[in-house]
Amino acid sequence: MNRLQQALDALVERIDTPAPIILADVMQDNIDRMQALADRQGLDVRPHVKTHKCVEIGRRQLKAGAVGITAGNVGEAEVFAKAGFDDIFIAYPLWAAGTKGQRIRKLAETTRLRVGADNVAAIHALADAMEDDAGQLEIVVEIDCGARRSGAPPAAAGELAAAARRRGLVPAGVFTYPGHGSAGPEARERAAKDQEAALIVAVRSLAAVGITPEVVSAGSTPTVEFATNSVITEIRPGEYVFNDLNNARLGACTQDQIALFVAATVVSDQVPGQVILDIGTKAIGREGSSEIGFGAIAGTSAVLAKLNEYHGFLPLPGGVRPRVGTVVPVVPNHVCPVVVNFEEYVVTESSGTSLERWAVDARGFLN
Q: Is 367 helix (H, G, I), strand (E, B) or coil?
A: coil
Cα Rg, the chain, nearest whole Å: 22
Q: What is the pLDDT of residue 339?
A: 95
Q: What is the pLDDT of residue 2?
A: 84
Q: Which helix (H) or strand (E) holds 89?
A: strand 87-93
- Cβ atoms of 277 and 330 within 8 Å: the answer is yes
* 114-130 residue pLDDT tens: 999 999 999 999 999 99
Of the two residues 316 and 39, the one the predictor is more confident about is 39
* 44-69 residue pLDDT tens: 999 999 999 999 999 999 999 999 99
Q: What is the pLDDT of residue 317?
A: 74
Residues sharing a CB contact under 8 Å with residue 297, sequence separation 6 or more, in sequence order: 303, 314, 328, 329, 330, 331
* Exposed / middle / buried, residue 302 (Cβ in 10 Å: 0-12, 13-18, 19+): buried
Question: In the predicted model, is pLDDT for residue 320 greater than 90?
Answer: no
* 159-215 residue pLDDT tens: 999 999 999 999 999 999 999 999 999 999 999 999 999 999 999 999 999 999 999
* 269-282 residue pLDDT tens: 999 999 999 999 99
Amino acid found at 265: T
Q: What is the pLDDT of residue 319?
A: 61
